[in-house]
Structure 1
């Protein structure tokens, strides 16, 4: 019990390469000696759990959920329905919309809902209804009924919430009991990054994380420096998979686009002088993009060196932040407010950051200890302790629950 409370019931690093956590040693002999000599067994075992407000809020939420009633109407949270397609879930969605019609929505769409409310076919006449519901919920309004639309109407089912909270509690045991202050907390399913100090969320900004095929890892580290007007060292995977096909037909395009090419000895060579057609997966050249407005990292990056080559950075692709689903990068974390985050970790002002950016490429070390959590929680409390729920964008909760069930089965006595 003491081990599970402190470190979790499963070893995350054995599940997937996307989990990367240091071991949390536990002196088992010391635990047994303490238990043998204390009258406060329950208090001691409770002390092995994470001692932070987030863990406590999740435990309170779990108790409340277990005592609550299930939603009256439960819609498949993974529903994905486009116009012209059919689903038995659609009448449930339409019933929920009809229940919550205000005068304006009722006047515009009451008749079509009354006529088609029992339909399993997503008729084109229903598309304006769905778009209006999505826009009212702060979404883009594309007419596709997906997980976010379902969640805005039906909420998350009791069973799904319980699963998300149980998963979150397990994941929190992988992290330090004291999360530290100040700290940076990136929650991938929420697509946000926050700077937290003395129990206050001083900054919260939208973020873009890795797409499903280039997932962002779940780990924690320590912020070390901010690079202004950074160079971008292009990963070999991007050179091979995205640049090489074009370079075979247009070998000089890197020269024109502001990239530098160096050979294995570090010598600069023109891109146009390389016979790119001679190479496949192993390219003996490095490519980096010079600082510019078009640079993939934008005007700054915030580094916490790690084996996953993940960091926070600006981006010229600002439109991505307007999307609801922001798993769109190659794995790094793009920030909507990179200047605000840089000012926070450097303990300075946004005006100072703006001044630094006037003077070209430079680097500034972070002088304080600031842990950064590149985290993955589909249930997470806000600063008031209210638990919010998010879509399992990488489908990691499912695999973790399977691992927890397998652990339980192995430990259970044979019947």
Structure 2
């Protein structure tokens, strides 16, 4: 047995103690082993304790803890557990999935209750009510189909309010004409006009009798009310229910009192203003609508470049001259005297000459990409833009998605747009801070929802999600149970009691791990120096990261789902209403938390078309193919509506 210098220094005193012991069978070797560490007794090497965190040594050199508090034996003279005879298969935890969208089925409106009410002697005998009551017989055999809630509201309203909204003297009123104009203009809001089509009865002047006119106008009344309710419903909530698209979509219901809508329309003198007011009333929605109008009016002058083009200096492609034409058309300000003649001379060449590298780098820098002179997907997308047909579709999708959010986004807010890989802090409707972010990988997608920021944690612990414990840590822990101990993690049981990871038989667990794992604050902590919390069921938050180099990438989908911030101190200072000096002081003080005292909504959003602060709409790649899933949902809705037109 050998001793360290420190042990050698105190050895004489220890030997004196041993010789003075009254127990004759006690050996000096055993006593020294107990004091200095020998045989199977756990001991920490210099500096190892810090790597282990604050774990105490294992409770017994020959035992390993079970979840129920009992013990497993370990091999003699070893800290490694005995390999179990049979290890439970690892059942990986999967994330949310995309669903097969189910549209609301249309039902035939049952007018029986209205027709029965027409015979009630308790009905008012005013001229309007009498005219309405007499016209109800015209609903016999009328096949009007609508969404279930629309059909119910229709019957409920007219049962309590037996009078016309849209008809007077057997003719449509000016209010009806206003409503029809709004329905016919639905396309300007990104909706489909055919969903709200209503035929106005014609030739009634020559009808043989009054009953024919009454029948046709009653049917017009009901059809127009049904389509107006559909329009208002779509304008406020969207045509699809986002939560039926996937488990990544998470939005609260936006209640709509449809009976109240008809009541308002029956009293207002400006049906158009009321109906259009049901759309989102914010600057972003207006900018997207203006973009839709501009696209519809524009001439298709696209220069189409293969989005898969990849080119390094010296390589060639027939797509390269198109890219140079785009630079000349859209970025002529960069073609200074030294570059203009060069581009003109080489503009038709399919070879990416070395002389053109400074031009490509200058353009990449201008459009916000890494100026490396390599032409790839992001360079092509930002230069060639999105084809007009794709832009139109992206804007229509964005208008639909805007209806899932509150109509008023809040004058102070944090807006994260995943396809843009950006987070923006907005105060008093002015952009104050914008930064690059990292979002979830395609297999660990960041959800689409909104919440409210609550607090900032400094030097945070990272509570490892069960999915990461099972999918990524468990395979390694089976071969190396002490891995967590050495890497700065703490393991606790259901009661919060801390347990060395080396003392757990990880082989007996497949998918449900009865332990919690968290990483202690450190420079290597996955959350970096701070995190910004808005508690939600998806366990998503904003945070720092030690992997700073990833922010230089153009496509930044690398996380397990949370939002990594390039400037976490700046964002923390913004939401707390303070400065970065305050944040620096809090970080120096160690682990702590600070509440956000203002109401600040945060939008973890997903828009492939989105207006910048200046109102200009930018277009982005569909990182998770969510536009594709939205299109499938919209197609299902359209098919269902047209089947019963």
TM-score by length of 1: 0.90
Judging changes above 3 Å, is the alpha-carbon distance between structure 1 residues 88 and 344 closer, same or farther for their aligned structure 2 residues?
same
TM-fit CA distance, 1:247: 2.1
C-alpha deviation, 1:155, in angstroms: 1.9
1:340 paired with 2:570, answer yes
After superposing the two structures, state which structure 1 stretch, 129-138 or 11-20, moved more. 129-138
Answer with 67-76 or 314-323: which moved more.
67-76
Deviations 1:102-155 (A, max 9, x none): 6655777877764436xxxxxxx6699579625631333567654322223212
The 1:96–1:345 alpha-carbon spacing in structure 2 relative to 1, beyond 3 Å, is closer
- Going from structure 1 to structure 2, the CA distance change for 1:270 and 1:87 (only over 3 Å counts) comes to same
- Report 1 or 2 for greater relative contact order, CA contacts < 8 Å, sequence distance ≥ 6: 1
- CA–CA distance in structure 1, aligned partners of residues 642 and 321 of structure 2: 42
* 1:275–1:88 Cα change, 3 Å: farther
CA pair 105-398 structure 1, distance change in 2 beyond 3 A: farther
Partners of 2:359 and 2:463 in 1: CA distance: 44
TM-aligned CA deviation for residue 82 of structure 1: 6.5
- The Cα shift of 1:18 comes to 1.0
Q: Say which of 405, 409, 422 aligns to 1:192.
A: 422
2:364 is the alignment partner of 1:137:
yes
Aligned partner of 1:309 in structure 2 is: 539
Per the TM alignment, residue 235 of structure 1 is displaced from its structure 2 partner at its CA by 0.9
Describe the SS at the equivalent of 1:165: helix
Deviates more, 1:144-153 or 1:29-38: 144-153
Deviation at 1:90, TM superposition (A): 5.8
Deviates more, 1:236-245 or 1:91-100: 91-100
Post-superposition shift, 1:164? 1.2
Deviations 1:303-361 (A, max 9, x none): 00001000001111111111111111110001111111111111112111111111111
Partner of 1:79: 308
Q: 1:235 aligns with which of 460, 465, 482?
A: 465
> Cα gap change, 1:87/1:247 in structure 2, threshold over 3 Å: closer, same or farther?
farther
Tell me the alpha carbon deviations over residues 48-87 of structure 1, each in whole angstroms, 9 at most, x when there is no partner. Answer: 01111111111111111110011242235x4254779998
Name the CA distance, whole Å, in 1 between partners of 2:508 and 2:316: 50
Give yes or no for contact 1:128–1:143 (8 Å, CA) kept in 2: no
Distance in 1 (alpha carbons) for counterparts of 2:247 and 2:575: 28
The root-mean-square deviation of aligned C-alpha atoms, in Å, is 2.6
* Contact residue 316 and residue 350 of structure 2 kept, 8 A: no
For residues 267-346 of structure 1, the aligned pairs below 5 Å read: 267-346=497-576
1:43 correspondence with 2:277: no
1:398 pairs with one of 599, 623, 628: 628
Q: Which residue of 2 is the match for residue 64 of structure 1?
A: 294
What's the counterpart of residue 284 of structure 2?
A: 54
Q: Distance in 2 between matches of 1:205 and 1:237?
A: 29
Pairing of 1:179-258 with structure 2 (within 5 A) = 179-258=409-488
Report if aligned partners of 2:488, 2:520 keep a CA contact under 8 Å in 1. yes
Which of 384-393 and 295-304 deviates more?
384-393
Q: Distance in 2 between matches of 1:257 and 1:90?
A: 49
| Secondary structure of residue in 2 paired with 1:37 | coil
Look up the match of 2:160: none
In the alignment, the residues of structure 1 paired with residue 407 and residue 279 of structure 2 have an alpha-carbon distance, to the nearest angstrom, of 8
Q: Is the 8 A contact 1:131 1:142 kept in 2?
A: no
**Partner Cα distance (2:643, 2:315) in 1:** 48
Contact 1:82/1:143 (<8 A) preserved: no
Superposed, which structure 2 residues align to 1:10-159 within 5 Å? Answer: 10-76=240-306, 78-79=307-308, 81=310, 92-93=322-323, 96=326, 104=338, 114-116=348-350, 133=360, 136-138=363-365, 139-140=369-370, 145-159=375-389
Q: Is the 8 A contact 2:302 2:387 kept in 1?
A: no
Distance 2:525 2:364 in 1: 34
Aligned to 1:385: 615
Shift of 1:286: 1.5
CA distance in 2, matches of 1:60, 1:88: 36
Distance 2:565 2:256 in 1: 37
**Whole-Å separation in 1 of the counterparts to 2:347 and 2:599:** 57
Would the alpha carbon gap of residues 286 and 277 (structure 1) be closer, same or farther in structure 2, given more than 3 Å must change? same
> Partner residue of 2:401?
171
More strand by share: 1
Q: Secondary structure at the match of 1:287?
A: strand
Q: Go from structure 1 to structure 2 and tell me whether the alpha carbon gap of 1:407 and 1:131 turns closer, same or farther (over 3 Å shift).
A: farther
Name the SS of the counterpart of 2:586 in structure 1: helix
Deviates more, 1:2-11 or 1:403-412: 403-412
On the 8 A contact 1:382/1:388 being kept in 2, the answer is: yes
Task: List runs of 5+ in structure 2 lacking aligned partners.
Answer: 1-230
Q: 1:115 to 1:158 in 2, by over 3 A?
A: closer
**Structure 1 unaligned spans of 5+:** 118-124
Q: Report the structure number with the largest CA radius of gyration.
A: 2
